[in-house]
Structure 1
Amino acid sequence: MSAKVIETMVNWIDENITNDPTLERMADFIGYSHYYCSSQFHEAVGMTFKQYVSERRLTHAITDITQSREKLLDIAVKYGYSSQAAFTRAFVSNFGYTPNQCRRDAYRM
């Protein structure tokens, strides 16, 4: 699989980050089997599709947290979390601080 196809996959994920991107939908868009896309994506990116989507959701959420006054619950739901608590757990696990701390620190600068 070419670097251009991997780039297309990554771009597709970002474009669909708030629409529950799935491996199957991405594979249909790319035109390869989901198994082949999964193995090639993992080899090229160094993490599974699911791990990558989770990290991208949180990265996009940081932008919303720091650049808007949108409620944290609304941001959590926007990026596919079932609750603010689930969002906070994932956020803390990834970054070591809560979304609320992130927002508070962003507005101090």
Structure 2
Amino acid sequence: MSIQTMESMVKWVDDNVMQNPSLENMSSYVGYSPYYCSSKFREFTGVTYKQYLAKRKLLCAEQLLISTEDKILDVALRCNYSSPEALARAFIKVYKCTPTQYRERYKQNKC
């Protein structure tokens, strides 16, 4: 698999994060088996497909929290979290605060 193909896999995930991209969809896009894509994806990015997707979903939510006034529920659903609670768990794990707290802190530091 070429470097360009591996880069296109990463770009495809980034471009489709709000559509809940699956490993199977990505592998179909590049024309290789899911197992082979999974292996090459990890080799290229240093993380599994699932870990990369989780990071991208969290980044999606972070960007929406700071750039919109959308409700937490709407942010969670747009970024493919199953619930606001699932988004909150992910936020607490990484940022040590809830999405609401994150948004408030961002606004305070911006002023």
| TMscore range, shorter length | over 0.9
- Superposition deviation, residue 99 in structure 1: 0.8
**Structure 1 gap ranges (5+):** none
Look up the match of 1:89: 89
Larger helix proportion of the pair? 2
How many residue pairs are counted as aligned between the two chains? 109
Structure-2 residue corresponding to 1:80 = 80
Percentage identity across aligned positions? 41
Q: Determine the structure 2 residue equivalent to 1:45.
A: 45
The DSSP-based 3-state class of the residue aligned with 1:35 is helix
Following superposition of structure 1 onto structure 2, how do residues 53-64 of structure 1 map, counting pairs within 5 Å? 53-64=53-64
Q: 1:95 Cα deviation (Å)?
A: 2.0
Q: Which runs of 5+ in 2 are unaligned?
A: none
Q: Name the TM-score, length of structure 1 as normaliser.
A: 0.95
- What secondary structure is seen at the aligned counterpart in 2 of 1:97? coil
Q: SS in structure 2 opposite 1:4?
A: helix
Alpha-carbon deviation of 1:84? 0.6
- Give the Cα separation in 1 of the matches to 2:41 and 2:106: 33
CA distance, structure 2, for counterparts of residue 57 and residue 98 of structure 1: 15
d(CA) in 1 for partners of 2:51 and 2:92? Answer: 15
Deviation for aligned residue 1:60: 1.2
- Where in structure 2 are the equivalents of 1:22-37 lying within 5 Å? 22-37=22-37
Distance 2:95 2:33 in 1: 33
| TM-score when normalising by structure 2 | 0.93
